Amino acid sequence: MLIMLIAAILLINPTLDEGVSIKGVVQNSPAEQAGFTVEQHASPRNLEKIESINGQEINSLLDYYVAVNTSQLFIETNKGSYAVANATPTNGSLGLEVETTPRSNIRTGIELSGGVRILLEPERELESSEINTMRSAIEKRLNVFGLADISVRYASGSTDYFVVEMATNSLSQVEDLLSKQGQFEAKITNQTAYTGDDILEISKDPLSGAGVVTESCGPTQDGFYGCQYQFPVTLSGPAARNMADLTRNLTVISGSLSAPLQLFLDGVLVNELSVAASLKGRAVQDIQISGFATGTSRADAINNAKAEMVEFMGLLESGNLPAKLEIVKADRLSPKLGASFIDNALWTSLACLIFVGVIMYVRYRSFAIAIPAIITVIAEVILLLGFAALSGWNLDVASIAGFIIILGTGLDHLIIITDETRSKTSTASSLKGKLKQAFRVIMTAFFTTVVAMIPLYSAGAGLLQGFATTTIIGLIIAIFITRPAFGAMLEWLLPQK
């Protein structure tokens, strides 16, 4: 058991390091251009850590936010150095999603570290082939956030749901991205010129023209500001030819064609563009898609244009969703509450632990029993956490409840073991025999509890899976490792009768 304990602690890899790590790189941002990337599903301690910005050592999020507000940044991390040019240094425009450097390899679910969770119900039942398509479409759309940890899960039950969890706080943006089916159509003279499916490639490279056209920004009629954004796309050959057919018969009026190109998203007109006369009758595959966004100020309009453009790109890239998704549950969980909750959980566990020790001592009047009991319980927790770090599953509030059960049943079983070994009425005569008896009882209890947890894997959209898994794995560790170890400790410490 000792070996496993050491292994577990190594896996958890706790540290007292303070700092800021990168958990996501937003697509099409200055950071991405400078070469920042993020490894998908990286373990928390392996995230890239920022050491300094422009020579300033970065030890906290506050340091980071202060240092980042300049246009020329030289960022050094534990993996390399980057030179970033950020034309509009406002909050968040750099494109790096950061967090305080994780203290250990234990991934915490969004309830503890903050994030959003959305449950989506398809408007009709999906065929099994469509489920995967839907899942990758959702993932593609969410990729615009560039986060390392996006979880899209399919939960089947009496009704089927997609469960999306990600560590960002832009709940509204995620909702918008996912609730739109993403049916894109460009029409001229009310005939379809091309649809989302005809778009082969979308360019996000500012060098090729993708981005907000800041020169176009100006006040609108109703007192707001507006900016135009655009990005180049490549149409398929047949679509380009179709476009040519439709424009062939139009007339030219002062440099443009007589009918505009209308862009529809999910049936709603989002933009109307005039088509240059030079495109009349020509099959052009490389075209620009543009749109317009407003805001309360010039900076606001630029930000909104950028957000809308990114959303538009996401929708086009992921393509049409096989079926429309309805949002049935949307949660945003603030990291601050999560942090205070973790602290509280630690203190509460400590209190319970002390209580356990006291009770064991009072009942059995022997340190030889109380101390191994405490050691066993602590060992169970550490092993469970080590396993969590290894397998990469997320701890959430429900898992913590699972921990409580482990500790509780742990105590119960330790008492059973102790009593059996000291019992004079047991059917077994040797210490070993008595231990065996005790274990039979525990085994039965183990199976019944495990079995009670099984329904949670499918019931309730699998939201309580974390709890079930924690309980089951914890019990397995307990039954096969720590409690036998406790038995061994008793054998060693108690006088043989």
Partner 1 sequence: MVLKNLVDFYHKKHKQLIYIPILILLFAILGIAISYFTTGEVIHKGVSLSGGIVATADVPLDIESVEQQLLAEFPDAEFTVSILQNGGEQAGVIVETNIQDRRAFETVFSQITGVPPDEMTIEQTDSAFGADFFSSLIRGVIVAFILMGAVVYFTFRKWTPALTVVLCVFADLVVTLGVVSLLGIKLSSAGIAAFLMMIGYSVDTNILLSWRMVKQIKEPIDVRIAGAAKTGLLMTATTMGALIVGIIFTNSPVIAQILSILLIGLVADVINTWLLNASILRRVVE
Neighbouring C-alpha atoms within 13 Å toward the C-beta of 174: 29
Closest separation between CB of residue 361 and partner 1, Å? 12
Q: Does 456 bind partner 1 (CB under 8 A)?
A: yes
Residues 290-349 that bind partner 1 (CB under 8 A): 327-334, 336-337, 340-341, 344-345, 347-348
Q: Does 412 bind partner 1 (CB under 8 A)?
A: yes
Closest separation between CB of residue 74 and partner 1, Å? 29
Q: Which is nearer to partner 1, 209 or 455 (CB)?
A: 455
One of 461, 473, 478, 489 touching partner 1 (CB under 8 A): 461
Cβ proximity of 298 and 212 under 8 Å: no
Task: Output the CA torsion 103→104→106→109 (10° steps).
Answer: 10
Cβ proximity of 231 and 313 under 8 Å: yes
Closest separation between CB of residue 11 and partner 1, Å? 26
Phi, psi of 17 (to 5 degrees): -55, 140
Phi, psi of 464 (to 5 degrees): -100, 15
* Pairwise CA distance, residues 358 & 370, whole Å: 8
* Pairwise CA distance, residues 68 & 94, whole Å: 8
The SS3 call for residue 50 is strand
Q: Does 444 bind partner 1 (CB under 8 A)?
A: yes
**Interface segment toward partner 1; rule CB under 8 A; list 38-46, 199-207, 289-297, 436-444:** 436-444
DSSP β-ladder status, 20-25 and 96-100: antiparallel
Closest separation between CB of residue 158 and partner 1, Å? 6
Phi, psi of 364 (to 5 degrees): -105, -5
Angle at the Cα of 343 from the Cα atoms of 340 and 349, rounded to 5 degrees:
140
**Which tokens sit at 297?**
């100020």
- Classify residue 263 as exposed, middle or buried by CB count within 10 Å of its CB (0-12, 13-18, 19+): buried
* Pairwise CA distance, residues 122 & 209, whole Å: 36
Residues 348-377 that bind partner 1 (CB under 8 A): 348, 351-352, 355-356, 359, 363
Cβ proximity of 21 and 50 under 8 Å: yes
What's the chain's Rg over C-alpha atoms?
30
**Which tokens sit at 268?**
């709603």
One of 463, 473, 478, 485 touching partner 1 (CB under 8 A): 463
Q: Chain-centre distance of CA 44, in angstroms?
A: 12
**Which tokens sit at 81?**
């150095």
**Which tokens sit at 7?**
């292994």
Residues 15-34 that bind partner 1 (CB under 8 A): none
Binding string to partner 1 for residues 116 to 135, with x set by CB under 8 A, is what? ---x-x--------------
Q: Which is nearer to partner 1, 119 or 321 (CB)?
A: 119
One of 220, 460, 480, 488 touching partner 1 (CB under 8 A): 460
One of 79, 419, 481, 484 touching partner 1 (CB under 8 A): 419
Q: Chain-centre distance of CA 129, in angstroms?
A: 24
**Interface segment toward partner 1; rule CB under 8 A; list 3-11, 43-51, 309-317, 425-433:** 425-433
Q: Which is nearer to partner 1, 442 or 485 (CB)?
A: 442
One of 269, 276, 452, 493 touching partner 1 (CB under 8 A): 452
Q: From residue 101, give the alpha-carbon distance in Å to each of 16, 220, 482.
A: 10, 44, 32
Closest separation between CB of residue 359 and partner 1, Å? 5
Cβ proximity of 291 and 263 under 8 Å: yes
Q: Which is nearer to partner 1, 15 or 423 (CB)?
A: 423
Q: Does 253 bind partner 1 (CB under 8 A)?
A: no
**Interface segment toward partner 1; rule CB under 8 A; list 232-240, 245-253, 380-388, 410-418:** 410-418
Q: Which is nearer to partner 1, 329 or 497 (CB)?
A: 329
**Interface segment toward partner 1; rule CB under 8 A; list 7-15, 74-82, 227-235, 456-464:** 456-464
Closest separation between CB of residue 369 and partner 1, Å? 12
* Pairwise CA distance, residues 266 & 71, whole Å: 38
One of 170, 216, 258, 262 touching partner 1 (CB under 8 A): 170
Closest separation between CB of residue 328 and partner 1, Å? 4
* Pairwise CA distance, residues 112 & 115, whole Å: 9
Q: Does 71 bind partner 1 (CB under 8 A)?
A: no
**Interface segment toward partner 1; rule CB under 8 A; list 46-54, 61-69, 152-160, 486-494:** 152-160
Residues 377-406 that bind partner 1 (CB under 8 A): 397-398, 400-401, 404-405
Closest separation between CB of residue 194 and partner 1, Å? 33
**Interface segment toward partner 1; rule CB under 8 A; list 7-15, 23-31, 206-214, 447-455:** 447-455
